[in-house]
Structure 1
Amino acid sequence: MDVAVEIGQKWLYAAAQLLLHPFYYIGILFIVLQYRRQISFERKLFSVRLHSLLTETWRAVLWGFCGGVAASLLMAVIGVSLQPEAVMLIWVVSLLLACFRVRYLCFAYSVGLIGIAQAILVWIPGVQLYASGWGARFVQLLLGIDMPPLLALVAILHLAEGILIRLQGARMASPMFYESKRGKIVGGYQLQAFWPVALFLFIPLEGASQLQLPWQPLLGGDIWHLGWTMVGFPVMLGFTERTTTRLPQEKTRWSSTLLVLYAALVLLMAVAVHYWSLTLIIAAVLSIALHEGMMWLSQADEAGRSPYFAHTRKGLMILAVLPGSAAEQLGLKPGEMLHKVNGFPLSGKQDLHFAMRQNSAFCKLEVINHEGQSKFVQRALYSGEHHQLGIVLAPDQDALYYAEERQMSIFSYMRKKLTGLVKKQPPSHSA
């Protein structure tokens, strides 16, 4: 009982640390900017908002907090302990990397670079003798960082990220128009989600506690018997994917599986570095290379498949369904095909508008579902409802805009101009 009370007191102190940490609010601000940009894309392409900025921001904060608590419990069992100066260095390096590419905000890159720098310094004989001033302090800081816990931190955070993506990744999927390899405009999804994760770590500290932990952490040995404390600090989790060949739920499952495998490999490397420090350079390089490899696999998977969200002779492809719309009430889903409306077969948007006008009070739809089977749904129509029942169709070649994939820096999110959206140029006519 006394241990539970002390853990509760230290947790409240760690929570106060977290709430006073500026990087926690920087992470939330980044999420707001990201989701604002995403919603701006939706308005530009579809003239409607598919997500709520306030709702999605609060949901990200809540899930980030819950994910952080779960990750903290796992790190407490393993015995992952971090030095405060190491945490600060990770954040500084991550923010510097984000100035070049937003995706470099991931800790895999910053921890990997720190590990490479430490391994290089260890190989330079007498490096501390040649450095002076701030250089000497920086060298001392790098050499004093315990790398196995940092690698374990990367592994556990990616495990938490994989679980969050599996549970919530498809929620912030935004339908988009993209240009295919053949120059045609096709439908797809931008999958982006970020979470400000609150970590509460048990740290061995002599004299900080009179009571021992009720469990024995796997790492650290007898050092935990000397005393312990708890610290709170924020980290950012997130992923960015683009798909034109899979449904959002299928793509997030794919990404989640890759992240869990990556987490397992990095955790094994952390254990290897703990017992054999010479493997640090290998582990540091692989933490970055494997992360890049996941992106390459995703891109290769997309390149090897045909576009999914495109109209065919069978009908019109549903790209998205507006929340709370008649289409949602009818049970229509993205990836299904509108085959007939009010008995009229569909081969273009003009056919849909014509068929809807034939009965202004009622509509009957024949839809081909994901399994290729036909289903029939019907519903009365009411004034003020969306003219297409709340259905967002895949684009045709008359689309005015499409999204262009760019490697964005964090400064791009600060601009008022909506970057990454390209106005389609009309075809040129030769004389």
Structure 2
Amino acid sequence: MLQVWLVELLKGTGRLFLNPVLYYVVFMAAFLGVMRVKRERKNFHIRVQDAYFELRQLFPLGILLGIILSILVVAAGITVPLAIIVLIAVFTFVLTLTTNIRMVSPAYTVGASFFALIILAENNRSIPLFSKAYQSIGEKVYPSIVVVLALLLIAEGILIYKNGSKATSPKLVKSRRGQSVGVHEVKRIWMLPLFLLIPGNTLHLPFDWWPVFHIGAEQYSLILVPFAIGFQQKIQGLLPQEAVQLHGKRVMILGVFIAILSVIGYWYPLLSIIAAAFALIGREAIALVQRMRDESKPFYFSKQNNGLMIIGIIPGSPADIMELKVGELISKANGVAVRDEESFYEGLQKNRAHCKLEVFDTKGEVRFVQRALYEGDHYELGILFVQDERKFDEKIG
């Protein structure tokens, strides 16, 4: 029995590389990185993170979460038809055409696939080339899909909280009054590989109680499915990390709520449909409320009378080594009062071998940082500020 499971595990893993979503998501991560660097260079004449940053974020945390969720799904025997996997892949491709990467949230890709499956099954229709994918579709299948949706939503919230808040990208825009202001933006896509049980001809029922949530078949196969999870958020009124982590918490709470409804749905199948609809509406509501509340606040990264606001820090730069933070305010450089970039640069030139800064942190408390300067260091320490002389194509209307 163990040998059969090991062989099926290897075969299921190999099926991952047959899924075009895997390669598409890698391409999307690379594309997001290139476009971000292009925009940052346009705004600041220098990029913050390199173009491979999004690619480096694609797998690590997603794989860890995928292993945890796979253990839960397989141990509970949550089974789904192959049709839903095909539909999720289709909607992943289609929703990226909206150019809004957050539409690749499981709430939309799995949620839309759930309702598409109901419509196709009720009308006795099948996907061309995948007619066998509709094996064992019955009432039990719908709660199982919503359970997977709920688990993926929880994972999405964790990814946003832990990873989405890292290295958000500074961006320069025009306010309604035509003033140069700054915002932060995050566009990220993650890969979460998840083992799913589908009707097959390999794994027999090892115990009377397994699978707990079956769909009527007597034999099953394992398949490793690459789920894409996209996230996009623009922040103007809060510190980027604070805003993104709040967003992640809300998504996690939504996922837990949907998980509770989905389990009850095994006894009341109609509740599964309600839960899937609530996941779609709830995920959209989280994004809408976040955007409305953020836009009602004044711009966090704007000109200040008592110093120069840091909108970005280049990794590995003197500013990074001195542990300066985004959102802090530089009030003095080598004793020179800082009002704009010119006065900041004048202060640095006062002592080319050493730099001492007076900084207001994000809590408004004064602190002092200093460091020796070396030949080859960035002439502005690797700090990005909101600047007047840049030209912007985007305006906040």
Q: Give the aligned partner of residue 388 of structure 2.
A: 397
What TM-score results when the alignment is normalised by the length of structure 2?
Answer: 0.88
Q: 2:77–2:211: 8 Å Cα contact kept in structure 1?
A: yes
Q: 1:177–1:402: 8 Å Cα contact kept in structure 2?
A: no
Q: 2:78–2:213: 8 Å Cα contact kept in structure 1?
A: yes
Quick one: distance in 1 between partners of 2:374 and 2:135?
A: 68
3-state SS, counterpart of residue 30 of structure 1: helix
Offset of residue 231 of structure 1: 1.1
Quick one: distance in 2 between partners of 1:268 and 1:47?
A: 49
Quick one: distance in 1 between partners of 2:76 and 2:247?
A: 25
Unaligned runs of 5+ in 2: none
Quick one: distance in 1 between partners of 2:315 and 2:382?
A: 8
2:147 aligned to which of 144, 149, 152: 152
Quick one: distance in 1 between partners of 2:64 and 2:243?
A: 23
Offset of residue 288 of structure 1: 1.7
CA distances 1:232-256 after superposition (whole Å, capped 9, x unpaired): 1211012111101222221221111
2:157 is the counterpart of 1:162: yes
Q: 2:262–2:271: 8 Å Cα contact kept in structure 1?
A: no
Instruction: Give the % identical residues.
Output: 27
Q: Give the aligned partner of residue 219 of structure 1.
A: 213
**Superposition pairs for residues 226-265 of structure 1, below 5 Å?**
226-265=218-257
Quick one: distance in 2 between partners of 1:247 and 1:109?
A: 28
Q: 2:176–2:396: 8 Å Cα contact kept in structure 1?
A: no
Offset of residue 361 of structure 1: 2.0
Q: Please tell me the residue identity of whatever aligns with 2:159.
A: L
3-state SS, counterpart of residue 371 of structure 1: coil
3-state SS, counterpart of residue 360 of structure 1: coil
2:162 is the counterpart of 1:171: no
3-state SS, counterpart of residue 208 of structure 1: strand
2:365 is the counterpart of 1:373: yes
Q: 2:40–2:47: 8 Å Cα contact kept in structure 1?
A: yes
**Superposition pairs for residues 15-414 of structure 1, below 5 Å?**
15-54=13-52, 56-102=54-100, 103-117=102-116, 146-203=141-198, 205=200, 208-209=202-203, 212=206, 216=210, 218-220=212-214, 226-393=218-385, 395-401=386-392, 403=394
Quick one: distance in 2 between partners of 1:202 and 1:163?
A: 24
3-state SS, counterpart of residue 52 of structure 2: helix
3-state SS, counterpart of residue 240 of structure 1: strand
Name the Cα RMSD after superposition.
Answer: 3.2
Structure 1 residues 391 and 172, CA gap change in structure 2 (3 angstroms): closer
CA distances 1:58-87 after superposition (whole Å, capped 9, x unpaired): 341233322222221222244322211221
Quick one: distance in 2 between partners of 1:152 and 1:53?
A: 36
Q: 2:103–2:230: 8 Å Cα contact kept in structure 1?
A: no
2:6 aligned to which of 1, 5, 8: 8
CA distances 1:39-71 after superposition (whole Å, capped 9, x unpaired): 211222122222233354134123332222222
Offset of residue 352 of structure 1: 0.9
Quick one: distance in 1 between partners of 2:382 and 2:323?
A: 12
Structure 1 residues 404 and 8, CA gap change in structure 2 (3 angstroms): farther
Q: Please tell me the residue identity of whatever aligns with 2:145.
A: L
Quick one: distance in 1 between partners of 2:136 and 2:293?
A: 38
Unaligned runs of 5+ in 1: 407-431
Quick one: distance in 2 between partners of 1:307 and 1:162?
A: 26
Quick one: distance in 2 between partners of 1:34 and 1:94?
A: 16
Quick one: distance in 2 between partners of 1:54 and 1:350?
A: 32
Offset of residue 372 of structure 1: 1.3
Q: 1:119–1:280: 8 Å Cα contact kept in structure 2?
A: no
Offset of residue 290 of structure 1: 1.0
CA distances 1:271-312 after superposition (whole Å, capped 9, x unpaired): 344322334553343222111101111112202322211231
Structure 1 residues 347 and 192, CA gap change in structure 2 (3 angstroms): same
Q: How many residues align?
A: 393
Quick one: distance in 1 between partners of 2:214 and 2:392?
A: 56
Q: Please tell me the residue identity of whatever aligns with 2:39.
A: F
3-state SS, counterpart of residue 113 of structure 1: helix
Quick one: distance in 2 between partners of 1:132 and 1:12?
A: 29
Q: Please tell me the residue identity of whatever aligns with 2:358.
A: E
Quick one: distance in 2 between partners of 1:213 and 1:305?
A: 57
Quick one: distance in 2 between partners of 1:353 and 1:171?
A: 28
What TM-score results when the alignment is normalised by the length of structure 1?
Answer: 0.81
Offset of residue 17 of structure 1: 0.8
Q: 1:172–1:192: 8 Å Cα contact kept in structure 2?
A: no
Quick one: distance in 2 between partners of 1:288 and 1:239?
A: 15
Q: Please tell me the residue identity of whatever aligns with 2:106.
A: F
Structure 1 residues 279 and 312, CA gap change in structure 2 (3 angstroms): same
3-state SS, counterpart of residue 198 of structure 1: strand
